[in-house]
Amino acid sequence: MKPKAHILIVEDKAILYKRLSMALTEENYSVDGYTPSVEKALERIQNKLPDIALLDIDLEDEATGIDLGKILSSTYKIPFIYVTDYDDSETFFEGLKTQHDNFLVKTKPHLDTKQVVRAIQTALARNSKQPTPAADAILCFTDYLENTKDHGRQQVSQVPLPYEKIAIITTNSNKLNESKTKLKGRPCYIKLRTNYLRLETWDGQSYYLPTSLADIAGKLPLTFIRINESEIVNLSPAVLQGRINGNRLKIGEHVCHISKTYKPEVEKRFELLYRKFK
């Protein structure tokens, strides 16, 4: 008999993983292997996309289940349920921001597996429509939107820009502000119009979107991260040249500064994308 759905359990307690796995297998679900960390979960997802995930919050390593929930919601569009020991309001409301399908507190001394199975069934029924395939590109404008309206019948005004080609997404134009550059001793660029973004490719081409950094940030793949008030960068090894003293990134030909506000999230993203050895 074909399994009802494939489930990823992200849980660092092997005994609890085994109990959940057995209960779900008895209900004719297929269950992925033991997954105790966010890093391992992302590896599992790359190998086989689950229909739904169960996430503990306190996991191995520094990244949490809430960190993973953000990724599942924004990048993969995979439904997920938190199954956690945490019963405090702060954690609950933090979890709400990730658009989960349910928040279950582990009952003691034993987890109520029947409650978990019913929550899964409810979430799968709610998300029963075929998932939309993840986009590989953004449809961008070749100029400001109002300028493209004057293009001739044969002139292209919008082009699909693959994520892998994007190096930087910025609110800056590619024109230097000479006075600020002289004053600060580093390149400073003239700002774009309000609610416009410029997408620069690794080979220096520019495209435009009539939106804000805040709006686009949650709709990008995992390799993209906001690093300051003006820039989102691509941390893919194809684009990232490296780090400079921890506070700057070499992205293509650009040196980009990581602000204090965004540095904690930048560090978490590096931990998810790259294996580090001390």
* Strands 172-176 and 240-244, sheet pairing: unpaired
Question: Residue 248 half-sphere exposure, CB side, CA atoms within 13 Å?
Answer: 9
Alpha-carbon distance of 80 to 98, in angstroms, equals 10
Between the CA of residue 222 and those of 7, 73, 161, what are the distances in Å?
21, 11, 17
CATH code, 6-126: 3.40.50.2300
Q: Where in the chain is the domain with CATH 2.40.50.1020?
A: 137-273
Amino acid identity for residue 36 in this structure: P
In sequence order, the 6+-apart residues with CB closer than 8 A to the CB of 130 are none
On average, the pLDDT of the chain sits at 88
Amino acid 68 reads L
Q: What is the pTM of this model?
A: 0.59
Q: Helices (DSSP H) in the chain: which residue ranges?
A: 14-26, 38-47, 65-71, 89-96, 113-126, 145-148, 178-184, 213-217, 263-273
Q: What is the pLDDT of residues 161-214, one digit of tens each?
A: 999 999 999 999 988 888 888 877 777 889 999 999 999 999 889 999 999 998
The tokens describing 113, both together, are 């597996």
Task: Give the three-class secondary structure for 196.
Answer: coil
Handedness of CA 66, 228, 147, 140 (dihedral sign): negative
pLDDT per residue as tens digits for the range 144-160: 877 877 766 677 788 99
Q: What is the DSSP letter of 35?
A: B
Residue ranges matching CATH 3.40.50.2300 in the chain: 6-126
Percent of the chain with pLDDT over 90: 58
Which residue type occupies 160?
P
- CATH number given to 137-273: 2.40.50.1020
**Site of tokens 């998932």:** 131
Confidence category of residue 109, pLDDT binned at 50, 70, 90:
low
Contact (Cβ atoms closer than 8 angstroms) between residue 88 and residue 94: no
User: Which of helix, strand or coil describes residue 176?
Assistant: strand
Contact indicator for 48, 6 with CB cutoff of 8 Å = yes
**Structure token pair of residue 208:** 């435009």
Residue type, 161: L
**Over the stretch 36-56, which tens digit does the pLDDT of each residue have?**
999 999 888 878 889 999 999
What strand order describes the sheet that includes 206-209?
Answer: 158-162, 137-141, 206-209, 197-201, 166-170, 231-234, 224-226
Supply angle C-alpha 36, 114, 78, rounded to 5. 50
Of 110 and 206, more confident: 206
